[in-house]
Each structure stands twice: as structure tokens, then as C-alpha cells.
Amino acid sequence: MKQSINILISGGGTGGHIYPAIAIANEIKLRYPDANFLFVGAKDKMEMEKVPQAGYEIKGLWISGIQRKLTVDNLSFPFKMLSSLRNASKIIRKFKPDVAIGTGGFASGPTLIVANSKGIPTLIQEQNSYPGITNKLLSKKANKICVAYDNLDRFFPADKIVKTGNPVRQDLLSVHTKIEEGKSFFKVDKTKQTILVLGGSLGARKINQLVEENLEFFKNQEVQVIWQCGKLYFEEYKKYNELENVQVHQFLNRMDLAYAASDIIISRAGASSVSELCIVGKPVIFIPSPNVAEDHQTKNAKSIADKHGAILLKESELETFPIIFETLLKDKGKQEHLSENINELALPGATTDIVNEVEKLLKK
């Protein structure tokens, strides 16, 4: 097989689609140092910034999703789709990929549709327990579908499915060895329990409001808080850095050390977060966003909670948070039980397994 291979990767819109795509590219690059990579994303979305930061070239398509209500954007969707199909065709004709990989998001639709039409082998990676519409459509023509959850043959052709898990940052695989380093990095009191609050890179309004309402409660429980409030909310909440037991961050660049320093984690339930938290193996309270397609975050969280690996707390039930949190905080046995169960669901070899499937397509 030729070593100078051309790899086309499309995925974006959120970190949950972008970071798996970058992880897959990095693993292929390790195996094939002379490989050429080209990413395709949606113009004005975060991949246009994050992918070049990771050292890869990216082209942008004029594409967005269909909103659930009637909007001007919906009226322009057919034009965006036609434009994106035409531009994806130009990109593919010029780049001549040996394989095309889609990790979800708006741009992966037209990109992989064109790749399939030109007979290029395609692989899609579905992060969630409930697939989005793009991957459902692409699955009909895809050669291989890498998934992170069981029972996805309800949505995809069973003979194409391989359960690999979701790619995660490699520095998370050794979190359990970094506890002392993490506590020193965040300057937390080693004699007190620390909670880590995550609402995604942009932030989560309901989770931020919940933390703000319970700051006095956390103080009374002698709990320290590492709070990633997100880019959209930092100006609003940074004042709480004045409190002795609270540190507010816009973004956490050392997620491995944040996980290592924490005893209990409160988090959204996006697919990447769930996969990371399985590997980290700490007690988790999932508060899924109800404002995502097909309510997939609730389904992700439920798949872990049903196996006694986490606590699922819906946004509509947040008034019960203090009771749930205090009970968990004071029950070391429950904390250990949750940690063990969520860790058993981890699939740390996901990136390697996905790239093994890519290699099989390259050899065809």
C-alpha cells in the first residue's frame, strides 16, 4: 500500500465532533508520517479555528443545520446544500482522497455524500447513543460505522457496525497518576473534597445558575469548587473568584489535571464528555442539556445511570440537587461504587480501533 495517502476528514459544529476528528488524524499520522490530511468544516464554526490550531488544513463549506422552527436559515438550506455539494465535489476532485472520514456535524453530510458518489471508501464515527440525522443518512452508503454504544443496529445496518468507543485525549488515560499534581496545579486544600463543574466550552446557563444558587451550601459542606462556567458566562460569574472555596474559569486548558484534582464531577452529557468521564472514573452527576437534537444527552446519561455508573439529574428536577449532592458527598461507599461502575464502561483503545478500521478500507 502506498505510504503517501490522502485522508479527508469532516466533522464539526461542536467540540464533540471536532476533537474525535483530530484524535483520529493524529493516530493516522503516527502510523503514516507522510500522509496528507484535509479537513472540511462549516464556515464560521469552531472547527475553522480549532483544526488549524491542531496543525491541519481545513476548507469551509457554506452549510448549517435545519432549525426545528421556521426561520430564514431554513429557507436558505436548499441553496446552502447545493453550494456545499458543489464545493465538496471540487475539494474532492482536487485532493483525491483515499478514504473519507465523517465524525458528525453539518459539513460531513455533503462531504461524505460526494465521496460516496465517487466510490471513495467512507467511515463514519457516531459518538452518541442516539444518532443525528446526518449520520443516519450517511450510514446507508458508508463502508464502516464506528459506534460507542450498544443497540445502534436500530438505526444503522448491523453488518457495518463496529463498537470502538469515542476517541479521547490521550493525556486522560493516566489521570489516576496525576492526583497530587492536579491538586497542586489548582491550589486546592488536600484535606477537603473538590467538585469539578463542567458545562461545555461555551458554558451551560442552567448549570451555572445552579452553582451560583448553591455557593453558600457548598461552603457549609466544606466543599471546594473548580467551576468552568464557559466563554459566554465568564464576565457574569468571575466575581465569585473572590470566594475562598471557589475558582471560576472560562476554559480549562489542563482538563487532565482538573479531572485529577476532583472528587465529584457535575457535567453535561455530550458524547465526548461521557467517554472521557468513563476513563477518568470519578463519581459523576450528569445534568444533560434538553436542548439538543433528539434529546441525545439524556439518552447518553441514561445509558450510564442504568448501569449504576452515574447519577442522572434532569434540568426539570434541579430543586432536588442539594439532597442528592449531600447524600453522595457523605457516602464514600456510593462514590466508590459509581467510580468502579463508570470506569468499567470505558473504551480507552477507541482511537486505535477506529484507525484499524480506516486501514482496512485503505487496503481494499
292: pLDDT strictly greater than 90: no
Q: Among the residues of 164-254, which ranges form H helices?
A: 179-185, 205-213, 215-220, 234-237
22-26 mean pLDDT: 95
Instruction: Return d(Cα 48, Cα 24) in angstroms, integer.
Output: 17
**pLDDT category of residue 169 using cuts at 50, 70 and 90:** confident
**pLDDT category of residue 21 using cuts at 50, 70 and 90:** very high
pLDDT tens-digit series, residues 179-221? 999 999 999 999 999 999 998 766 799 999 999 999 999 999 9
Higher pLDDT, 292 or 98: 98
Q: What are phi and psi of 30, to 5 degrees?
A: -60, -40
Weakest-pLDDT range from 2-6, 324-328, 342-346, 350-354: 2-6
Question: Do residues 106 and 81 lie in contact, with contact meaning Cβ atoms separated by under 8 Å?
Answer: no
Q: Write down the mean pLDDT value for the chain.
A: 92
pTM exceeding the 0.75 threshold for the entire prediction: yes
Share of the chain above pLDDT 90, in %: 77
Instruction: Return d(Cα 234, Cα 229) in angstroms, integer.
Output: 6
pLDDT tens-digit series, residues 36-57? 999 999 888 889 999 999 999 9
**Predicted pLDDT at 1:** 47
**Predicted pLDDT at 105:** 84
**Predicted pLDDT at 73:** 64
237-257 mean pLDDT: 95
